[in-house]
């Protein structure tokens, strides 16, 4: 039987952007084309909070608590909100996980598509704008209240100055580059307060902290947020659930082992 599927025209004029290629073949459509349908009144989407990132001596530390909620119900306490996009880029998610994880997959394939068709890495500015466009395309769902995503994006470019780059976004796709730190999600006000205090009046500014000190600051910030915000999991002392933390530096991305986080929490936070 002859297949009706047409081959993907890689590198065709105007299709260098991976999401544009998907739309050209009818595989991806802007969210606003789904129509003005509203979710049921009792529908409460699963949401995940809280995430933070800050620059430290080696690069950027990105951390997130593990709790996912639906209204006032805890859905899951081991959600992964800190995702590796490529060898030098991390995306942390706050908002609806289903939408955010799909954005992360499209973003990952976009970077691979560009690298293989253009025979070079996408620039940092290109990566930042690619995520911004995905958020704009999702704005129709965000208006319906069922697909809001507010991410953080961290990357490292050894050829640039500064090498460590950190960005946060709003739901419409506006991008903002952070000088020192960023936090989003329902627990972010408390987190930003802790990070501002540590950066301004701590023993060292955030950008001069070593790895252990940076992890301790992140643990204190998330633990404080969990005391004020029920949607933030913080550190579960009974179930021994700790935040997930990744670091991006000149050597690439490193995921901090849970045993190391637990040890620093016992010795310097608890």
Query: In the chain, where are the structural domains located?
Result: 45-269
| 6 pLDDT higher than 80 | no
pLDDT digits (tens, 9 = 90+) for 218-247: 999 999 999 999 889 888 888 789 999 999
| Cβ–Cβ < 8 Å for 214, 61 | yes
- At the fourth CATH level, the homologous superfamily of domain 45-269 is Aminohydrolase, N-terminal nucleophile (Ntn) domain (3.60.20.10)
| 9 pLDDT higher than 60 | no
Q: What is the Cα–Cα distance from 111 to 204, expressed in whole angstroms?
A: 36
- Provide the 3-class DSSP secondary structure of residue 187: coil
| Cβ–Cβ < 8 Å for 82, 152 | no
Catalytic (active-site) positions:
49
Mean pLDDT calculated for residue range 46-55 = 87
- Is the pTM for the entire model greater than 0.95? no
pLDDT-based confidence at residue 34 (cuts at 50, 70, 90): very low
Mean pLDDT calculated for residue range 76-102 = 93
pLDDT digits (tens, 9 = 90+) for 64-74: 999 998 888 88
| 178 pLDDT higher than 80 | yes
Q: What is the Cα–Cα distance from 230 to 47, expressed in whole angstroms?
A: 12
DSSP class of 266? I
Instruction: Give 247's strand partners.
Output: 61, 254
| Cβ–Cβ < 8 Å for 210, 181 | no
| Cβ–Cβ < 8 Å for 232, 226 | yes
């Amino acid at each position: 039987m002859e297949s009706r599927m047409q081959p993907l025209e890689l590198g065709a004029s105007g299709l260098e952007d991976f999401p544009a290629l998907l739309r050209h073949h009818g595989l991806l459509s802007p969210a606003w084309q789904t129509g003005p349908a509203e979710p049921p009144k009792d529908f409460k989407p699963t949401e995940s909070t809280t995430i933070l990132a800050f620059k430290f001596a080696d690069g950027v530390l990105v951390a997130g608590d593990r709790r996912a909620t639906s209204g006032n119900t805890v859905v899951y306490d081991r959600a992964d909100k800190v995702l590796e996009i490529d060898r030098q880029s991390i995306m942390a998610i706050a908002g609806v996980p289903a939408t955010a994880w799909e954005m992360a997959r499209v973003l990952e394939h976009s970077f691979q598509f560009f690298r293989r068709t253009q025979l070079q890495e996408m620039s940092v500015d290109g990566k930042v704008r690619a995520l911004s466009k995905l958020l704009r395309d999702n704005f129709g769902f965000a208006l319906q209240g069922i697909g809001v995503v507010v991410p953080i994006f961290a990357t490292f470019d050894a050829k640039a100055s500064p090498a460590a780059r950190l960005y946060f976004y709003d739901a419409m796709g506006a991008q903002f580059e952070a000088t020192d730190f960023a936090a989003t999600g329902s627990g972010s006000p408390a987190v930003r307060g802790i990070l501002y205090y540590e950066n301004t009046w701590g023993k060292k500014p955030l950008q001069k902290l070593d790895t252990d000190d940076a992890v301790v600051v992140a643990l204190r910030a998330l633990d404080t947020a969990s005391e004020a915000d029920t949607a933030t999991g913080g550190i579960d002392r009974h179930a021994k659930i700790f935040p997930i933390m990744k670091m991006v530096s000149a050597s690439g991305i490193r995921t901090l082992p849970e045993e190391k986080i637990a040890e620093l929490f016992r010795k310097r936070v608890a």
